[in-house]
Copies of this chain bind each other. A is one copy, B any other.
Amino acid sequence: MFDAKKIREDFPILKRKVNGKTLVYFDNAATTQKPVQVINAIRDYYENHNANIHRGVHQLSQEASQMYEDAHHVVGKLIGAKWDETIFTRNTTEGLNLVMYAWAMRKLKKGDEIISTVMEHHSNMVTWQFLKEMGIKLKFVGINDDGTLKMEDYDKLVTRSTKLITVVHASNVVGTINDVRKIGKIAHDNKALFVVDGAQSVPHMPVNVKKMDADFLAFSAHKMLGPTGMGALYGKRSLLQSMDPFMYGGDMIKQVTLEKSTWNDLPWKFEAGTPNICGGVAFAEAVKYLERLKMKNVRKHEEEITKYAMERMSEVDGLKIFGPGDYRNRGGVLSFNLGEIHPHDLATILDEFGVAVRSGQHCAAPLIHLLKAHATTRASFYVYNTKEEVDYFIDVLNKARKVFG
């Protein structure tokens, strides 16, 4: 197991003061902070290796090409995928849009159906709404009061027209970890594609695309110690090969005439134009950092913090946590409301004491409405968070309760 206090030393921003107080960063589901190793990798790339990739025979270009290709290996390995099934994207959102544009829009037809859930982040909900114009039907699995999926809904919703089933692996609002193996099996038993939003799972626990038998899995670097502007989309090789590209430009092409073009090999076929080369290199550095900690330890640490935070929060009068009651069934994401205090007010007061949490609808408006909340406050944890920080957070919650008493 690792020592979160030691880890903190790698994160320069954690030494920052906010409103005169030491920063307590509990907004990790939105984005995480970056260790000095990642910041240095960026610097090293630009100070020593920067060049455009693929087509240059000169030394810098060869170095940059190698580093960028290696990054695909490192990121792919984390999720049990081959490097060329690992497409670099800007973020989870782009990954899901790629599947929508390059697979669904071109392979589906009027009357086909897609099953999502009411628990989704907007990026895994609004994206599919685009297909309605084509006459594709969108259906949603509901949730129980404790924020778990109504698994029995799949039986009711699946038909012979179901062509794609998509689900968030771990919810960014209620924290629920969904049973992706079971849902994947339902999808494949019905010859539907299985698409997983891994934005909140890949950063926080061991994830293996083979074990969950995902056809596509999307996630973001910035939520796992990596840079902004980077993400990855895993896709099964046979699927990726059967598809046309998403975007068109340099490096994704084999041969071009004025009339038509043939596509490059994977993964380049799906990475048009000059990619975020430095972002890829820094992403790999973030993954290496996590692999040194080991993903099962990352998960264990978060379970401990989450368990502790749930216990301590239950002592606060009028505090209600959304989502599963057992910390073992959830990620380190705690959405809550404190009496009648508006989440924005609560977040503002927490901020005055240096505690960064998120407040609002967390890009999941339909879910928030189902929870019968207008908005929630959300604390979410990562490798550098400690029980001492949780204690401090509880103290501030109690202060807020007094202000709004």
A residues bordering B, Cβ < 8 Å?
Answer: 12-13, 16, 18-19, 23, 25, 27, 30-31, 33-34, 38-39, 42-43, 46-52, 55-61, 90-94, 96-97, 100-101, 118, 121-123, 125-127, 129-130, 132, 138, 140, 220, 222, 227-230, 247-251, 253, 255-261, 272-279, 344, 347-348, 350-351, 355-360, 362-363, 365-366
Whether A93 contacts B274 by the Cβ 8 Å rule is yes
Number of copies of this chain that the complex holds: 2
Whether A55 contacts B358 by the Cβ 8 Å rule is yes
A-B contact pairs, 11 of them (CB 8 A): A13-B48, A19-B59, A33-B46, A38-B46, A43-B43, A91-B249, A122-B253, A125-B258, A126-B253, A129-B259, A250-B363
Cα separation A258 to B358 with both chains bound (whole Å)? 23
Contact of A272 among B46, B51, B61, B97 (CB under 8 A): B97
Cα separation A260 to B127 with both chains bound (whole Å)? 10
Contact of A12 among B47, B93, B355 (CB under 8 A): B47
Contact of A228 among B129, B256, B278 (CB under 8 A): B278
Chain B residues, Cβ within 8 Å of A31:
50-52, 274
Task: Across the interface, name the chain B residue whose C-beta is closest to A17.
Answer: B59
Chain B residues, Cβ within 8 Å of A272:
93-94, 97, 123
Whether B366 contacts A273 by the Cβ 8 Å rule is no
